Structure 1
């Protein structure tokens, strides 16, 4: 791999010196950081009094950007944003772009100095944008961070400061077809050995026991992390026996026919379709699949925490979901109003409403406890979120490179091109190369 040289320069944003990377980068988010840095240089350092300006500037409206393009989801968020806007005394101009377009859109807005007042980000992307200096820390603007679990706060934290908060989150669990397990005379698998047994016993011509996402994407990494982490593996050191044992579980299930080789091309939506259509007895997926599953009248399904390597262990799953952030817009008054709206989104009643709408988990622990009593089918996800980890907790902005190395190893091992040990040794070299 060609060595890529990165240098740092100090630039100024609203009178604050920040570090901004220069040089070529491999991901759009890194390009965003460079574009933001360029904006800072061309804008220069202000010498006025931002706090003073906030006392005189009247803010009538705020712009909001997210990737909730689904009609129902966009309407739900629009309703809640409008309500929080009224509470803050502003109207909301709400725009959604397709998920792949969010970062390029923000890139263009950063270059044009038209960043939104309130920005939603997929939580693993927060670190890189916060590092660029484009986001404001939330606590100085009065955003409350009490009552959130440590993993949830970690997902929105960069260098000890909270830059983003998620009203609700998601994670992964095991969906199972009750009739297929009963036909095999088996209960819900709780350990890896039980998972192997159940996957093999429920495999039939035209049907596989288990479906996972093992494609060449970050979704595959997301699905593999619970197996890596629950077995004591660590993303900082991929070439360990614990990591190899986790990857061997997947490769053996494909080798034995209990998982289809097509998992190498399936994303999480494809996995859902396999389970919904009766072509898989079990699947690894998130709570966002419940709405469609509930419409399937002839499908009797349940959901349980992901199986663990040994009885008595606790599953460790990754946190999914989006965080809301306040970009540095150059207007202290607008940033304070945006922070008020963000704080409002995280009020208990609003978290409860969002969770009910979208089958997600409220991020305040007391709200989650009330929610699961009202929606028992979410118990496995609420339980798993308590111990869930942010993907960037250990590696920070370096996480995307390791995530790529992980799904590359999954592809190599599950396809049989390399042993789990060989694939993970290569992944470790990829993750740590300059």
Structure 2
């Protein structure tokens, strides 16, 4: 998932990146470093993720004869932390950016092309290579990726005699039938943050919508479909304020028969042994259409510090952390999907219950593939459009204003 921006911040951060990163790279490293110690800046503040990363870094450090340390900050602070470190000429050897943020640093000239450091993209699907690329240059290696899927309560659907929906018509009909008392047929996030945008993209892209034309008819149709679910009473009115975590809470509490969510919720779902859930691809507008969702996750990058020797070793660290075996270990821990095709094949056999997610990932797209660093303006514009359209304004009017905002940055 990508992080939250406000418009003025997203504009300032690009300008700041260009100035601060250029300053750091032109003058090289500004501090003495221990030749045997390398640092990774990441967002693994959660105890389990921090431990998994520490274990992986220890294995790679032993293999390479060095020590690898991690500095973890909340996800929303990685970019600003990296910019401050660039300003003080103390950039870490590796930065793990959310893939949607990486283009901003790359655009400023702050990252090294990983191919020049010996990393190969063989056995990595084209979509995932693009996920870690900016303007055709491969800057970020993904260890695992994620996307969204349709989660459903097996018991509730079986009792209602309903199959798992595969099209919008089926989803709308099933959600309406499953809405009873305090239980809604479907839960999703349409909040004014990136969570909502991430959840809208499968509907927009599967319908042929384009982020370069937010007021296009295919985008309008997708938002109208969301509005129809709300009109039916199949979605809670609180949808406009829910995060993806809120959606999962509602599903687990029995307040939703189905939900749109991602694999990061599986660990929590599995804590309730009485909840029998299944997973399927997100329904599409028409039978036979491709279900296209957004790729989520982070990428390992090597900052341009001006110290060629350290950059080469950093490249070897990235290669180790993103190796087939390390990807498989990380994915099995986190329920994400390995980026490497060979590792993903083994993963499918080990977690067959998530087969549908693997298929959804194979067709998924990077949010920044079309617009690069310009994605944040589009995301903000869409967030505002959801709030307006789902509280009364027409989808056409809301998205026309969103396109104006995305173009002007206001």
- TM-based fold match above 0.5: yes
Question: Structure 1: any 5+ residue segments left out of the alignment?
Answer: 1-24, 51-56
Give how far 1:27 is off. Answer: 2.5
CA–CA distance in structure 2, aligned partners of residues 42 and 199 of structure 1 = 54
Q: Secondary structure at the match of 2:270?
A: helix
Matched, 1:180 2:180: no
The answer to whether the 8 A contact 1:208-1:259 is kept is yes
User: 1:18 is matched with which residue?
Assistant: none
Residue of structure 1 aligned with 2:394, choices 405, 412, 419: 419
Q: CA RMSD in A?
A: 1.8
CA–CA distance in structure 1, aligned partners of residues 312 and 165 of structure 2 = 49
Residue of structure 1 aligned with 2:192, choices 183, 191, 216: 216
Give how far 1:415 is off. Answer: 1.5
Residue of structure 1 aligned with 2:349, choices 356, 359, 373: 373
The answer to whether the 8 A contact 2:24-2:89 is kept is no
User: 2:319 is matched with which residue?
Assistant: 343
The answer to whether the 8 A contact 1:35-1:111 is kept is no
What does the per-residue CA deviation read over 1:14-64, in whole Å, with 9 as the maximum and x for residues that have no partner?
A: xxxxxxxxxxx8235853652552464487568xxx9xxxxxx98201011
The answer to whether the 8 A contact 1:58-1:333 is kept is no
Residue of structure 1 aligned with 2:8, choices 26, 30, 41: 26
Matched, 1:89 2:76: no
User: 1:384 is matched with which residue?
Assistant: 360
What does the per-residue CA deviation read over 1:173-222, in whole Å, with 9 as the maximum and x for residues that have no partner?
A: 00001111122210100000110011111111111110111000011100
Quick one: structure 1 residues 39 and 354, their matched pair in 2 at CA, closer, same or farther if it must change by over 3 Å?
Answer: closer
What does the per-residue CA deviation read over 1:271-291, in whole Å, with 9 as the maximum and x for residues that have no partner?
A: 000001100000000011111
The answer to whether the 8 A contact 1:32-1:107 is kept is no
The answer to whether the 8 A contact 2:293-2:360 is kept is yes
Q: Secondary structure at the match of 2:165?
A: coil
Quick one: structure 1 residues 129 and 185, their matched pair in 2 at CA, closer, same or farther if it must change by over 3 Å?
Answer: same
Quick one: structure 1 residues 178 and 70, their matched pair in 2 at CA, closer, same or farther if it must change by over 3 Å?
Answer: same
Residue of structure 1 aligned with 2:223, choices 247, 259, 266: 247
CA–CA distance in structure 1, aligned partners of residues 61 and 154 of structure 2 = 45
More displaced 10-residue stretch of structure 1: 116-125 or 406-415: 406-415
User: 1:198 is matched with which residue?
Assistant: 174
Q: Secondary structure at the match of 2:299?
A: strand
Bigger Cα Rg:
1
Give how far 1:366 is off. Answer: 2.1
Q: Secondary structure at the match of 1:92?
A: strand
User: 2:210 is matched with which residue?
Assistant: 234
CA–CA distance in structure 2, aligned partners of residues 177 and 43 of structure 1 = 52
Q: Secondary structure at the match of 2:182?
A: coil
Q: Secondary structure at the match of 2:376?
A: helix
Matched, 1:76 2:52: yes
Q: Secondary structure at the match of 2:152?
A: strand
CA–CA distance in structure 2, aligned partners of residues 224 and 320 of structure 1 = 14
Quick one: structure 1 residues 331 and 33, their matched pair in 2 at CA, closer, same or farther if it must change by over 3 Å?
Answer: farther
Tell me the matched-pair count: 400
Quick one: structure 1 residues 44 and 362, their matched pair in 2 at CA, closer, same or farther if it must change by over 3 Å?
Answer: closer
Question: Structure 2: any 5+ residue segments left out of the alignment?
Answer: 1-6
User: 1:281 is matched with which residue?
Assistant: 257
What does the per-residue CA deviation read over 1:411-432, in whole Å, with 9 as the maximum and x for residues that have no partner?
A: 111122x111111111111111
Residue of structure 2 aligned with 1:358, choices 334, 358, 379: 334
The answer to whether the 8 A contact 2:38-2:67 is kept is yes
The answer to whether the 8 A contact 2:25-2:306 is kept is no
User: 2:289 is matched with which residue?
Assistant: 313
